[in-house]
Structure formats: C-alpha cells, structure tokens
Structure 1
C-alpha cells in the first residue's frame, strides 16, 4: 500500500499524455471520412472549439490542422468540413467515425501488444489508452442537450446529440432535407418557402422553426419571421443563436426594447456570443446610446479581432459622440477586413450626411445597397439623401 500513491500518480501522468492522442484520433476520425466523402477542405482544431490563436497551423493536402501549442490543453477538439452537401447517411458516418476511431485504434493496438507479448509497460500504457478511448466513446455518443460554446460565438453539441437529431430528421418528409440543402446553398427564399409550408402543414418542431426563421432573416423577410416567433419560443428550449435571431427580427421591425430583451437572453446563455454583442450594440446605436454600444463592440472585437461589422459599428458610435478620428479609423479598418461589408459603406455614408455632404453620402448608400439590398434602413437613407441633394 505504501507504493499506491506513486502508482496512482504514474497512471495519472500516463493518462495526461494519452488524452491528447485520444482527441487527435477522434478528430482525424471525423476528418478522414469527410475528406473522402466530400472531396473538399476539412479543418480540425486540437485544444479548442475553433480558436486559431496561439496555435500551430499547417496543411496536409485538403486537411487544415490547428494545434494549440501546449498538447496538455488538448482536452477538446473540433472538426469542420467545408462542404455542406453531405446526405443524412454521410453525416451519420462522419459523426460516428470520430468517437469510434480512438476506440478501434486502441483496441487493435492492445490486441497486437498482448498477442505478441510485448513489454509490460507498453501493455499498461495501451490499457490506459483503451480506457481513455472507451470513456471518449461513451461521453461523446451519450446525447447531451448541453450546448457547447464555439469560438465564433455559435454553439454546437456532442456527437450523440447530433446523431439523435439526424435520426429524427431522417423520419421527416423529404421536403425538410430539400430545404436543408437549399439553405446550405444559400438559396434562402426557396428554403424558407418550403419550411413555411411544412409549418403550415403541422410539422411544428423547434429545428424547423429555427431554420425557417434563419432563412427569412437572410433575405429580409422580417414580417414572415415574426409570424412564427411566438410559436418558436414556446416550441422548446432556445439557444443563444435562437434568441439572437428573435432579437434581430424585432430590431428590424423597430421593436427595440423587445430586441434588447432577447439579446440579453442570448448573452445570459453565452456571454461570448459575438453576434449578439455586435447586434445589441447596433440596436443601441439606433437608440442613440452610443457609449453603451461602444462597450459591446469592444467585447465583440476582443473575442474576434477580425470582426469587420463591430469595427464599422463602433466607428459610427465614436463619430456620433465626437471622436471622429478614431471613428473613421475603425470604419477604414473594417474596409481592410472586408471590402464588401455593406454596413461600412452605410456608416461612412451617415458620417458624410451628418457633415452636410449628401452627394458623397448618396454614393456610399447606393454602394451599400448594391452589396446587400437588405442592409438595414438603406432605402430610407437613400430617399432622405436624394431629397437633400435636390434641395442643395
């Protein structure tokens, strides 16, 4: 018994070394089938849920890998296939291959080790590896509704939950799969029409509401999104993305207090949701609460230093409180990050309109509309500015 603490410590150290390999094989288990099925790029993160900071980055063909520098932090991982066109059966294979990869590799390794009676220390190490793989298999395939906050502000779920959702949706009419494919191809009007029809026909499931409302928002059909919001909220537990979409709907319908309430619900679930932070700040800008908005844009930029929208929104807020130099610098940086960002043109246009330069403002507003005709309030800004040009 006097050696028990030392043995326990040794086993714990071995497990600490083994766990990163379990995660590595798990994510490769997802990635390799995706590479074979889709023929497109696949990205895996080891040590994070999509955070590229302080990571080693390299490519092996179509496989992009991000490794946190400290392998002892590899307690988590994420695999993101570029293709959105996998069928239900292909998605099932993609999901199952992850947790089973570590288990199969560990099982083969330990079988060979005992079959050829290799060194005892290797038997111990591989036995611990098999135990780690079995734990990984159980933890990942047991469905959990607990959301996983991803680096980009969205949420995900474990493999078991995703499988459960896939098997459920496989039972739905072919219309749903068609709608999902249309959504993945960014054909939001067509996807929304199909989902709207399903809801009208009585298929009132949380995920159908979720995808329908997201489709409507993508193309500015805010009244249609609003028509399903009450049922969506009562259909089940909403996540931070859902509350953000509800808030965006209300914001575009000028129901700003309702909008802020739902942004608060989203941020209560996920304080690092950069889209909720940015869009709540945008709503506060519309309410002329610029200082409060700036603090939210600061948080969003801290989470994602390349988030162009928060820079141009913060820039407008700074301009409105008299910090023109800093504000214009933010908007120009937004252009550097995303030259096709319609809101940067919109906000720079507002700056020129406020300065009494309607000709410059009108050109910027028209550019914003050309890039995205659903840019918030762009038609009203164009009309107002055209009148100002005529009255000069």
Structure 2
C-alpha cells in the first residue's frame, strides 16, 4: 500500500510541476504577444538553455522544452519586442503568477465539487497546493537573484514588478536614453544618463545603465567614478564585479581584475563574461593553457560566444597549435564578423606563419575598427620593422 502511495505521489509530482511551469510561462507569453504583436520565446525546464531541448513553434510563440524532467530548473519567458511600455511589462509580468492562481482556483473547484476517484482527487489537491505555492513564490519579492543561462541576473516576478512600478516614476529622459542605448548610440545615451544622475535620480538601475554606456565608449575613468559611488550605495552583483574587473584590466592592474572576476564567479559560476575576461587576462599574462580552461567553460555555457572562440584561438596560436587556433578564429568570425580582435588575432596567425604583409593588412584592419585594440600599435610597429629590414 505504501509503495503504491509513493508511486502515485511521484507520478503526480512529475505531472504537476512541469504543467504548472507551462501554465505560468504561457501566462507571461500570451499577453506579451497579444499586446506587442511580436514574438515571444519560453523556456520550460531551464533559464534560457536550448541544449538537450526540443523546439516547438505556434505562430509567434516559440517553446524550448528540456527532455529530462528530472533536470528541470523552472522556466523563462523572453518577449522579442523592443521598447515595450512599462504598463505592458507590468501586465505580462503579473499574468504569470495570476495564471498559477487561476490553476489553483480551478483545481480547488474540481477537487471539491466532483466525486472523483482517489488518484484524481489527490492529483487536483496537489495541483491546488503547488499552484498556491507557485503563486506566492513568484508574487512575493525576493532578494535572491536567478542565474540565467547566458550568465545574466534575473529576478522573480514580485521583484520585477517592484522595479517596474519604480520605473513608472522615472522621467521621460530615462527611457529616451535606453532607446538610444538599444540603437547603439552609446555616446548620446551616456550623456543623458549623466544628466539624470546629476539631477539627483541616483538609483542602482540608472547607475548601471550609465556604467554600461561609458564602458562601451571606453570612458573607463567615468565608469570607475560611477562604480565608486555605486559601491557606497548599493550591493554589487556578479555582473557589477565583472564590469569593474574589466576597468582594472584596461588599467593593466591584472591582479585586481582577476580578484574581481573571481568574486563575480563566486556569485554566479555561470557568468560567461567573467569566465571569458578571466581567460583574456591570463592570455595577457601569457598563461595560455590556463586561459583555455576558462574559454572552454564559457563556451559550455554559451556556444555562440564569439569572443571566447576568438580568445581561445589566440591562446592556441601562441601555444603553437596554430591550425586549431585558426579554426576557433573562423568560428568567431561566423558569429561576429566585425570584431577587431578577430582581425588582430588572425594577423598574429599569419605572423606566426611568416606571412608578414598579410599580417600587417589584418592589423591595420583591426585598428580601423577599434583604435584601442589591445597591443595593436605594437604589433603594427613590429611587422613594419620586419618588412622594412627585409626590403634592405
């Protein structure tokens, strides 16, 4: 009898948890699609991982489902529309938990209104309890962040709603700046965020946007100043430590940078950017074998991470495995054909092969894309010196 009860309970749990995740994520996705008229993707059993999953598509709804139910880790909804209004975000964020609450109400009605067989009655009672638990777990704001598959930080619905209601009080400038950022007008966006901060709206989201913008335009001094203010007011997360490490990497304080990347990875071991940056720093320190282990880990998390292919290719070239390195560089180029470090590292590949004219052309291409590419002036000078000596 006990064995049968345990088997029934296990079967109910295997049925209930995935179904509740499906209803919850559809509760986000369907309103998002209806309001924006754009696509939405939901992940069932993961926080954005498509590996070991199968894909379904129904019109503008895309679904990725983990094969193994025993390895499910919740779910995620990603609307594809850009510049969604705050009110619409509030609605589709709220409808996820409300879907769980609706399931609880329906389960309660079925469990008590109909004379069902013991198994079915037990099933709907478990559905009722799990639905209420799911609703409360998501609607009550939590300080505990969620590690997304791409290394970014997410939050439960309650925390997201609190932040969205706070955003409703922000000036129009704030959303104009985000629009500029989304259009890759980083200099203009940075200027607007600077104005907002100087006007007194010094919340953590505004600081982070300003820091992101200044990092992208390589204004590391300004980004560092904002970080100094930010650390006095707010708690740092994994992405914050990763970005601060990037600043110290720029100033060639590699010991400090490595320490900050380490803290970032303690907070979120899946932060592919910190893994990549740690490996990049090890490349600068000429610890190429050790660097490769970090790039490997980053690519396990995100197989489309062009920078890690590029950096791993450089490591392999410096270790004498130049054809393996070229393969990684080619994969990087397929993912991001405008990365200046691809052309720099491909130039190093040809330099190792003794094709200095080809190397020079690639170094110049790299510099034209980004004048601040690491060591690019030194590499150009070395190749020009060799070619001038060869001419004599």
TM-score, structure 1 normalization: 0.89
Query: 2:64 aligns to what SS in structure 1?
Result: strand
> In the comparison of the two structures, how many residue pairs are matched?
389
Aligned CA distance change for structure 1 residues 288 and 188 (closer, same or farther; 3 Å): same
Question: Which residue pairs with 1:279 in the alignment?
Answer: 277
SS in 2 for 1:153: coil
CA contact (8 A) 1:19 1:75 kept: no
Does 1:53 find its partner at 2:51? yes
Which has the larger displacement, 81-90 or 45-54?
Answer: 81-90
CA contact (8 A) 1:251 1:259 kept: yes
Partner of 1:41: 39
Flag the 1:6–1:58 CA change in 2: closer, same or farther, 3 A. Answer: closer
Q: Is 2:333 the counterpart of 1:335?
A: yes
Q: Distance in 2 between matches of 1:381 and 1:204?
A: 42
Measured after TM superposition, the shift of residue 69 of structure 1 is 1.2
Task: Kindly provide the CA deviation profile for residues 182-212 of structure 1, in whole angstroms up to 9, marking residues without a partner as x.
Answer: 3233332222111112222332222221111
Q: Is the 8 A contact 1:33 1:97 kept in 2?
A: yes
Q: Which residue does the alignment assign to 1:188? A: 186
- Once the 2 structures are TM-superposed, how far is the Cα of residue 385 of structure 1 from its aligned partner? 5.2
Counterpart in 2 of 1:62? Answer: 60
Deviations along 1:214-264, one digit per CA (max 9) or x if unpaired, are 111122222221221211222211111111111112222333222222111
Matched, 1:209 2:207: yes
- Which whole-Å CA distance do the structure 2 matches of 1:187 and 1:313 have between them? 27
Q: Which residue of 1 aligns with 2:69?
A: 71
In structure 1, the partner of 2:228 is 230
In 2, distance between residues paired with 1:70 and 1:298?
A: 24
1:106–1:129: 8 Å Cα contact kept in structure 2?
A: yes
Deviation at 1:110, TM superposition (A): 4.5
| Residue 112 to residue 271, structure 1, CA distance change in 2 (3 Å) | closer
CA contact 1:199–1:209 (8 Å) conserved in 2: yes
Deviation at 1:335, TM superposition (A): 2.4
Which of 332, 348, 351 is equivalent to 2:349?
A: 351
1:71-111 Cα distance to aligned partner (Å, 9 max, x none):
35445001111123111111111111111112214424543
| Structure 1 counterpart of 2:116, from 115, 119, 127 | 119
- For 1:300-319, list aligned pairs within 5 A: 300-319=298-317
Looking at structure 2, the residues matched to 243 and 383 of structure 1 have their Cα atoms a distance apart, in angstroms, of: 35
**Structure 1 gaps, min length 5:** none
> What SS does structure 1 have at the residue aligned with 2:82?
coil
Deviation of the 1:355 alpha carbon: 5.5
RMSD (Å), alpha carbons:
2.6
Residues 333 and 174 of structure 1, relative CA distance in 2, 3 Å threshold:
closer
Deviation at 1:66, TM superposition (A): 0.4
* Cα displacement (A) at 1:7: 4.7
1:242-253 aligned within 5 A: 242-253=240-251
> Does the 8 Å contact 1:362/1:385 carry over to 2?
yes
CA distance in 2, matches of 1:44, 1:344: 33
Aligned to 2:155: 157
1:28 Cα deviation after fit: 0.6
Write the distance in 1 (CA, Å) between the matches of 2:263 and 2:311: 22
1:29–1:101 CA contact under 8 A, matched in 2: yes
SS at match of 1:43: strand
Deviation at 1:4, TM superposition (A): 7.4
Q: Which moved more, 1:102-111 or 1:216-225?
A: 102-111
Encode CA deviations 1:155-177: one digit per residue, 9 max, x unaligned: 21111111111122222333223
User: How far apart are the structure 1 equivalents of 2:189 and 2:13?
Assistant: 47
2:13 equivalent in structure 1:
15
Separation in structure 2 between the aligned mates of residue 211 and residue 374 of structure 1, nearest angstrom: 22
User: Structure 1 pair 30/375, CA: closer, same or farther in 2 (3 Å)?
Assistant: farther
Partner of 2:238: 240
Structure 1 residues 88 and 374: alpha-carbon distance in aligned structure 2, compared to 1, 3 A threshold: farther
Task: Specify every segment of 5 or more residues in structure 2 that has no aligned partner in the other structure, as ranges.
Answer: none
Query: TM-score when scaled to structure 2?
Result: 0.89
After TM superposition, the runs of 4+ consecutive aligned structure 1 residues lying more than 6 A away are none
Partners of 1:220 and 1:54 in 2: CA distance: 38
Q: Offset of 1:6 from its aligned partner?
A: 5.5
Match of 1:178 among 173, 176, 188: 176
